[in-house]
Each structure stands twice: as structure tokens, then as C-alpha cells.
Structure 1
Amino acid sequence: MTRLANIDFDSVAPLYPSDKVAGRVAGRGEHFEWSPPPTSVHSADPIEHRSPTAAERIMPEFVDLTGIKSGRLTVLGMAVDVSANGTRWVVRCVCGSYELRRTRYIKACAAGEKTGNNEPMCQSCAYTKKLRQGFHNPKKAAAAAQAIMEAAR
């Protein structure tokens, strides 16, 4: 008889997934909690943005990207806080989250260069899509397996 045979079903039942997707994800030790990388801006609340000024519009190299839709992203306007690395635009994903993207990225997506097989989307949607396609992170799976083994002791 193994040590696991002594575990009561009522103590394990809440750990069982409730549907097929949850079972597949939980079986690999993955979960849908996501946090953005520290270098990016991702928010469920609207990010403050502005329209381009008249001085910006008359510059020959400036392109107003407001209103452009590319994949799941829609450009709302320029970010209020100016970055030293160039103009950043506030985009809204169809899932309702807001992010900052650079001019170069938006232009490339609109031209179809960046997309390839993937449509442009927020980082949270991209992570969820990777999980649905079978992306497997062995480190997270090992940590989840270790936590289950500790709980079973």
C-alpha cells in the first residue's frame, strides 16, 4: 500500500479540475495567472492618452496612427508621458486591456510585416493563446508537481 492510498477523497476532490481545459492546464502545472514583464505597460484600466498636436502633424516624418486597427489591437492615441526612446501609442485589445506600443511596431503590423501566423494582440491574450496551443513550461510544471507532493505528505 502506498502513502497516497491513505489520502481521503474529500481532501483531494477540490483539487480536481472542473472542465476539460482546466484539466489539461492543471495537468501540466500551468495556470492562467499572468503578470506583465517589468519593462512593459499593461493595464485593465484605460491609460491616459492624447491626440497629436498641430506641431507634430506638420512634421513630414510624423504619421498619425490614431484609429488604426491591426489584429486585435486598436490605436487610441499617443501616450501622455513621453519616452526618451520615441513615441509610444496607447492601444486597446479586444479583451479590454490597454498597452503601450511603439510607432515602429504599429506600422509593421499595419503593413503585415510583424504578423506572420500570429495576429497582433496584447501580451495577456498572447500568453493565453500559447497555453491553448500546448505551450508547456517545464519549470512551472516541476514546481506545481513539487507542491502537490508536499501537500500529499
Structure 2
Amino acid sequence: MKQDLNRVQLPILNLPPFEPKLQEIDGKLGIFDSLRKKYLILTPEEWVRQHWINYLIHHLSFPKGLVALEKGLTYNQLQKRTDLVVWNNEGNPYLLIECKAPQIKLSQKTMEQACLYHQEIKSKFLIISNGQQHVSLEWNADEKKFIQLKHFPSTPN
């Protein structure tokens, strides 16, 4: 059954809207990922991630070359993947973004998962987002704790 891509209803997120390229892939809806330059199956989490990519590059002016998807890491001998990592000009992790589907609540468990990833990545900033709500944190290395921010981090120097 062919989908009418013009009639697809996608959730409106609390991020600037954009016009994604959509395409059918094996009977499923796909979205074009401008970083990997290919279509991916459009899951609710992917919808949030693609909004963040668009927001970082087109609204916050993060250089596209410093934004990376799904960096692999090992935690407790398990292979895990981060959603988005933004690097600074020296090649160090600057911002880690953990994306959840819009219907997933940003719970203590979600925060703990993102903090575990942060322990491995060691980025200066961490954002946890389900597209509707966002938590923006800055790591204070001296106090070894996060400080919640009222804004998103600006581009790395």
C-alpha cells in the first residue's frame, strides 16, 4: 500500500518547524538525514533528532561538520549509542543531545541514562529532549555536577 506523503500527520514539536524530505522506503515512511545523506526510517525519536539537527545547523549556526549522529560507546559491557554529539573546533565533545520520542516523559530514568552517556562522552553540555520538553544542562567539573540552564548552549569557540 503506497502512502500519500502529503497527507502524513507528524507531531508538532517545540522546536522550529522545517520541511523534511520524506520518501517511502519498503512500505514505511523515511526521512532524509542531511548529515548521513541518506533516508532513514521515520520513527518518533528520529523525528525529534532531525528537528534538533535542523535547529542546531540552521538556527543556532553550529557548523554541520561538527555535528555527529549515534556515536558508539560501551557502558557496563553493553554497546550503546548516543543520539547527537556536537564537537568543538579542537575535536572535543561539546554538546551531547539525548532524544526521546514525543510521547516519552523526561523522567528520572531518562536523566540517568543521559548522565551515563555523559560520563563516557564528557561533553560540557547535555540536552535531553522529547521534542516537546527540553532540559539543558552544563557540567560543572569543579563541583562534579550539572547545573540546569534556562537556554541552549551557543556554538563552540
Bigger-Rg structure (1/2): 1
Greater share of helix: 1
* Same fold per superposition (TM over 0.5): no
* TM bracket (short chain): under 0.3
TM-score (normalised: structure 2): 0.24
The higher relative CO (CA closer than 8 Å, separation ≥ 6) is in 1
TM-score (normalised: structure 1): 0.25
Greater share of strand: 2
